[in-house]
């Protein structure tokens, strides 16, 4: 693992102070609008962009019409995510025409793909900054160049580098995201992530722990440890450091009351991890274990490196140690070559595992991945029909699973007021289920007992005890 050199970090800090000087002389604090697509990892990257912007004297706004700087942090995992970004960039043309000096940046996974980045550069000449995921720590320099009216195109792949010294502007407590590793080595054949995020590299144990201590001191109660495959944390150190060990250490930190993590690849789930989850009070009673498909034949084509039977065995082991664990998964419908018989195997997994929730996607072809050239057999219409059936089967299971909570008393970490009714608060159970209940904002950040009085497919309702 390489780290960005101290000299380079100082060089970026210099750009930060230069921009901060310029901004402090302006009549009004310039405002930034940052919009993020994709996964928690990308949202954490945006927190870092906002941290750097804040250090450079920017304020923030939710309305791009009044922004001086607009940033889109993009996702490439499916086509629809990319289409939305194109639509958004197109719409900025008018804003830039109306208000001189507005700067526009497009960053993240989508533009880490060379062809797409070139295309954005050509099609939208008014985009001032195009920079990929590897350039995140160079953002101050990129912005300084753009402010001097130089168009920036930085998609260089500084593979393997980790930068530890970037400010992070998080949402208010109680939830904090903390990355423990970057990149992915798995190359599932449908997936673009390894191409846009580079190879797996773990942050040092001490770097993770010191960030968790930091957020604990700022009043955060729950940490979400992030990685594309947290189960392989530490493999690159080659000294036996494991994710299970890291979890144990994180749990020792005072002030942190809940620990979650995402995502776990089933092939790398160890008995040691299951044991530490069962043992440590602070580790939430929840596991997101993406199965992707129930057919072993398709799983092999996906390069997932487990069979249906092996997956079900992992679930059995997990439930043996943690009988009431909340299980969730990701499923792709319509992978190339998937037949209706293969799809029935996925339905079978749903019925056998009985997940609390699933996140399901119709397969989206990603240029440059092995699956993009695999032969397909079902029509789009058939895939949609299967997709709808998947949801129907799951919705019934989700509702039944939630019905089991009726009358139970759950410990809920209160996150904030409900979006639809300010008299209602919203929070999560230890298992990660959303609970809405009548309350007040004094409760935010506290763990309180709530009796569950109402159940729906997606959430629970309750009364504070
Ligand atoms: N590293 C995580 C998450 C990766 S992306 C993991 O391995 O679970 C999140 C989800 O997007 C994946 O689990 C998968 O279900 C879905 N996904 C990835 N590529 C896709 C594609 N080309 N089409 C449709 N869904 C996709
Ligand atoms: Fe993509 Fe597979 Fe890596 Fe997850 S594990 S990011 S699905 S390649
Ligand atoms: Fe999307 Fe990049 Fe995350 S492709 S899912 S934002 S790693």
What pLDDT is recorded for position 98? 93
CA dist 35 and 219 (Å) reads 26
The reply to whether ligand 3 has any atom less than 6 angstroms from the CB of 39 is yes
Rounded Cα gap, residues 201 and 190, in angstroms: 22
User: Which run of H or of E encompasses 170?
Assistant: none
In the structure, what pLDDT confidence band is assigned to residue 162 with cuts at 50, 70 and 90?
confident
Q: For residues 223-233, give the mean pLDDT.
A: 97
The answer to whether 62 and 33 are in contact (CB under 8 A) is yes
Ligand 1 mean position to 37 CA, how many Å? Answer: 14
In angstroms, what is the span from residue 394 Cα to ligand 3's centroid? 25
* Reported confidence tier of residue 157, pLDDT bands at 50, 70, 90: confident
pLDDT at residue 169 tops 70? yes
Q: Using the structure block, give the residue that is written with the tokens 């609970």.
A: 435
- What is the pLDDT at residue 4? 87
194 CA from centroid of ligand 3 (Å): 10
Could you give the angle at the alpha carbon of 380 between the alpha carbons of 377 and 384, nearest 5°?
115
Q: What is the pLDDT of residues 362-395, one digit of tens each?
A: 999 999 999 999 999 999 999 999 999 999 999 9
- Pairing mode, if any, of strands 409-417 and 447-455? antiparallel
Cα separation, 57 vs 28, in Å, equals: 11
Q: Give the span between the Cα atoms of 451 and 409, in whole angstroms.
A: 4
Considering the entire predicted model, what is its pTM? 0.96
Whether the pLDDT of residue 415 is over 60: the answer is yes
User: What does 46-59 look like in DSSP terms, one character per residue?
Assistant: HHHHHHHHHHTT-E
Chain-centroid distance of CA 408 in Å reads 30
Q: What is the spatial distance between Cα 375 and Cα 297, in angstroms, rounded to a whole number?
A: 14
Give the residue from 154, 111, 161 showing the smallest Cα distance to 2.
161
Write out residues with Cβ below 6 Å of ligand 2.
Answer: 184, 186-188, 191, 193-194, 228-229, 265
What mean pLDDT is predicted for residues 139-147?
97
Atom of ligand 3 minimally distant from the CA of 228: 7
Contacts of 167 (CB under 8 A, 6+ apart): 48, 51, 52, 54, 55
Which residue's alpha carbon is nearest to atom 1 within ligand 2? Answer: 191
CA of 264 to the centre of ligand 2 (A): 10
Query: Ligand 1 centroid vs 36 CA: distance in angstroms?
Result: 17
pLDDT value at residue 1: 55
Question: What pLDDT was estimated at residue 161?
Answer: 77
- Give residue-wise pLDDT tens across range 282-320: 999 999 999 999 999 999 999 999 999 999 999 999 999
Q: What is the mean pLDDT of residues 154-168?
A: 85
Residues 412, 165: Cα–Cα separation, whole Å: 34
Query: In percent, how much of the chain has pLDDT > 70?
Result: 99
Compute CA 63 distance to the chain's CA centroid, rounded to the nearest angstrom: 23
Span 173-195, mean pLDDT?
97
Residues 99 and 298: their CA atoms lie apart, in Å, by 52
The packing angle between helices 243-251 and 271-279, to 10°, is 10
Q: ∠ at Cα 324 (322, 329), nearest 5°?
A: 90
Residues 140 and 11: their CA atoms lie apart, in Å, by 9
Q: What is the DSSP letter of 461?
A: E
Residue among 187, 437, 444, 133 at smallest CA distance from 301: 187
**Would you place residue 422 in the very low, low, confident or very high pLDDT band (cuts 50, 70, 90)?**
confident
Which tokens in the block code for residue 8?
């380079």
Among the ranges given (153-162, 218-227, 231-240, 433-442), the one the predictor scored with the smallest mean pLDDT: 153-162
Q: Which atom of ligand 1 is nearest to the CA of 359?
A: 15
pLDDT in tens, 343-368: 999 999 999 999 999 999 999 999 99
Angstrom distances, CA of residue 184 to CA of 192, 197, 230, 267: 10, 7, 10, 14
**Given pLDDT bands bounded at 50, 70 and 90, which one contains residue 160?**
low
Ligand that lies nearest to the alpha carbon of residue 332, given by its number in the listed order: 1
Q: How large is the average pLDDT for residues 325-329?
A: 98
């Amino acid at each position: 693992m390489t780290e960005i050199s101290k000299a380079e970090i100082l060089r970026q800090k210099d750009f930060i102070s230069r921009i901060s000087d310029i901004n402090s002389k302006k009549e009004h604090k310039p405002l930034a609008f940052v919009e993020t697509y994709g996964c928690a990892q990308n949202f954490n990257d945006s927190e870092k962009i906002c941290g750097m912007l804040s250090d450079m004297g920017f304020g923030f706004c939710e309305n791009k019409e009044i922004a001086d700087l607009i940033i889109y942090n993009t996702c490439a995992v499916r086509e629809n995510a990319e289409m939305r970004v194109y639509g958004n960039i197109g719409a900025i043309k008018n804003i830039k025409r109306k208000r001189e000096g507005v700067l526009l940046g497009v960053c993240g996974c989508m533009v880490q793909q060379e062809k797409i980045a070139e295309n954005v550069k050509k099609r939208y000449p008014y985009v001032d900054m195009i920079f990929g995921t590897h350039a995140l720590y160079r953002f101050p320099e990129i912005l300084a160049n753009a402010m001097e009216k130089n168009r920036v195109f930085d998609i260089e792949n500084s593979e393997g580098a980790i930068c530890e010294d970037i400010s992070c502007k998080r949402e208010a407590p109680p939830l904090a995201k903390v990355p423990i590793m970057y990149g992915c080595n798995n190359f599932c054949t449908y997936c673009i992530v390894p191409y846009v995020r580079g190879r797996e590299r773990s942050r040092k144990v001490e770097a993770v722990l010191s960030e968790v201590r930091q957020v604990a001191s700022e009043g955060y109660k729950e940490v979400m440890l992030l990685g594309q495959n947290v189960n392989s944390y530490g493999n690159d150190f080659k000294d036996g450091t494991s994710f299970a060990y890291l979890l144990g250490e994180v749990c020792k930190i005072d002030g942190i009351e809940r620990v979650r993590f995402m995502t776990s690849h089933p092939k790398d789930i160890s008995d040691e991890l299951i044991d530490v989850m069962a043992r440590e009070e602070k580790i939430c009673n929840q596991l997101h274990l993406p199965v992707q498909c129930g057919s072993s034949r398709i799983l092999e084509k996906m390069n997932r490196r487990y069979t249906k039977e092996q997956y079900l065995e992992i679930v059995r082991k997990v439930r043996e140690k943690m009988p009431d664990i909340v299980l969730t998964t990701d499923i792709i419908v319509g992978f190339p070559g998937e037949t209706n018989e293969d799809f029935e195997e996925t339905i079978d997994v749903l019925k056998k595992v009985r997940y609390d929730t699933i996140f399901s996607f119709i397969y989206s072809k990603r240029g440059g991945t092995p699956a993009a050239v695999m032969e397909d057999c079902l029509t789009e219409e058939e895939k949609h029909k299967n997709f709808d059936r998947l949801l129907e089967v799951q919705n019934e299971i989700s509702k039944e699973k939630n019905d089991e909570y009726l009358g139970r008393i759950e410990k809920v970490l209160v996150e904030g007021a409900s979006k639809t009714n300010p008299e209602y608060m919203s929070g999560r159970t230890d298992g990660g289920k959303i609970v809405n209940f009548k309350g007040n904002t004094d409760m935010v950040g506290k763990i309180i007992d709530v009796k569950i009085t109402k159940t729906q497919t997606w959430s629970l309702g309750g009364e504070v005890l």
